[in-house]
């Protein structure tokens, strides 16, 4: 129950109605008997600065930040963690003595989700589809985990090339070394032998669930060991179905969503996150 003493955290995004984070975090607060609540905060882009000022004034103790505010929020914060600065995106804010500190838990969240799949990228070639916010976190993890090389496929070649130039500058500031990245031109495909394919585009997300970011008529590269789709709605995308039809294991984005949330929960509360409660809350929708 929300009372006068309840501590508030919220999700800044536009739109946020589809988000599963409120159900995940409120289930976690309830499981640990915490007098906390997590509320969706739909904020249109021109209102972001006013919204952050308002949340500070109202004593919010933390926030998640999602599309389209992950980069735009940075100038409105007091401090940014080195990994959030390196990838240029904040998805979590923790408040310490009134200071709003920007963090990025998508990176560690994806690292833990990748570990759960059992797939290894160390010393391997990996193909990443997309060059937006999700791809930034994926590239950071591929750098941390020692991937040998990356093939980056994006609708806009220029945006992908710009991303690689930017991250080559910013990663070293967080002690990361970006492996060689080959940006593929439209119509180009990765060679045989890539070990893992990761989709960081929204192609195939509900409601357009028949779409696939990989051409359905084209076989996957020979030797592919796994496909990871950052999409979690639907839980089994067309891309995942295509991979499984070729006997290739496929994983959705629920693992990343769960783990980035669990890390944020711990940053806010200082407590270990009830992972299985959160996992059940996510899949129970």
The residues annotated with a catalytic role in the active site are 70
Q: Which two tokens stand for residue 76?
A: 């409105």
Query: Interface with ligand NAP includes 134 (CB under 6 A)?
Result: yes
22 touching ligand NAP, by CB under 6 A: no
The residue nearest ligand NAP at its CB is 132
Residue 91: CB minimum distance to ligand NAP, A: 8
Among the residue ranges 30-38, 52-60, 229-237, 276-284, the one whose residues contact ligand NAP (CB under 6 A): 229-237
87: helix, strand or coil: helix
Dig out the tokens for 235 from the structure.
Answer: 């839980």
| Residue whose CB is less far from ligand NAP, 18 or 99 | 18
- The residues in 63-82 that bind ligand NAP, with binding defined as CB under 6 A, are 67
Distance CA 101, CA 1 (A): 28
Whole-angstrom Cα distance, residue 21 to residue 125?
Answer: 32
For 251-260, b where at least 16 C-beta lie within 10 A, e where not — what string? bbbbbbbbbb
Residue 205 vs 224, nearer CB to ligand NAP? 205
The nearest distance, CB 134 to ligand NAP, in angstroms, is 3
Q: Identify which of 136, 132, 13 has the alpha carbon closest to the alpha carbon of residue 65.
A: 13
Interaction of residue 283 with ligand NAP, rule CB under 6 A: no
Helix (H) or strand (E) holding 196: strand 196-199
Residue pair 76/101 in contact (Cβ under 8 Å)? The answer is no
Q: Decide: is 232 part of the binding site for ligand NAP (CB under 6 A).
A: yes
CA distances from 17 to 13, 39, 172, 198, 263 (A): 9, 11, 37, 26, 22
| Total site size for ligand NAP, rule CB under 6 A | 24
Judged by CB, which is closer to ligand NAP: 131, or 224? Answer: 131
Is residue 132 a contact point for ligand NAP (CB under 6 A)? yes
Contact mark string toward ligand NAP, 81..120, x via CB under 6 A: -------------------------x--------------
Compute the distance between CA of residue 141 and CA of residue 121 in angstroms, rounded to an integer: 10
Question: Parallel, antiparallel, or unpaired for β 62-65 and 7-13?
Answer: parallel
Q: How far is the CB of 4 from ligand NAP (least distance, A)?
A: 33
Total residue length of the chain = 285
Up-side HSE of residue 67: CA atoms within 13 Å toward CB? 9
- Cβ 201 to ligand NAP, closest distance in Å? 3
Out of 12, 63, 86, 230, the only residue in the binding site for ligand NAP (CB under 6 A) is 230
Q: Of 50 and 206, which has the nearer Cβ to ligand NAP? A: 206
Binding residue for ligand NAP, selected from 9, 205, 273, 281, defined by CB under 6 A: 205
Decide: is 150 part of the binding site for ligand NAP (CB under 6 A): no
203 binds ligand NAP (CB under 6 A): yes
Among the listed residues 132, 205, 203, the one whose alpha carbon sits nearest the alpha carbon of residue 167? 132
Interface with ligand NAP (CB under 6 A): 67, 106, 130-135, 154-156, 159, 200-203, 205, 230-232, 253, 256-257, 260
């Amino acid at each position: 129950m929300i009372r006068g003493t309840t501590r508030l955290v919220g999700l800044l995004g536009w739109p946020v109605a589809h988000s599963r984070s409120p159900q995940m975090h409120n289930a976690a607060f309830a499981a640990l008997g915490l007098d906390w609540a997590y509320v969706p905060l739909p904020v249109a882009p021109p209102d972001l600065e006013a919204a952050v000022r308002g949340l500070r004034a109202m004593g919010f103790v933390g926030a998640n930040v999602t599309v389209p505010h992950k980069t735009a929020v940075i100038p409105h914060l007091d401090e940014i963690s080195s990994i959030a600065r390196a990838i240029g995106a904040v998805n979590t804010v923790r408040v310490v003595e009134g200071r709003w500190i920007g963090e990025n838990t998508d990176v560690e969240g994806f690292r833990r989700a990748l570990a759960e799949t059992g797939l290894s990228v160390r010393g391997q070639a990996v193909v990443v589809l997309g060059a937006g916010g999700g791809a930034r976190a994926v590239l950071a993890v591929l750098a941390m985990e020692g991937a040998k090389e990356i093939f980056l496929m994006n609708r806009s070649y220029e945006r992908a090339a710009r991303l690689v130039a930017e991250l080559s500058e910013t990663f070293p500031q967080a002690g990361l070394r970006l492996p060689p990245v080959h940006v593929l031109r439209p119509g180009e495909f990765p060679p045989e032998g890539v070990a893992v394919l990761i989709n960081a585009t929204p192609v195939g997300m509900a409601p357009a669930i028949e779409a696939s970011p990989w051409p359905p008529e084209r076989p996957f590269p020979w030797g592919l060991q796994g496909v990871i789709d950052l999409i979690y709605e639907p839980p089994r995308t067309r891309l995942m179905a295509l991979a499984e039809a070729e006997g290739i294991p496929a994983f959705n984005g629920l693992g990343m969503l769960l783990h980035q949330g669990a890390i944020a929960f711990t940053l806010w509360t200082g407590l270990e996150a009830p992972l299985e409660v959160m996992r059940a809350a996510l899949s129970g929708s």
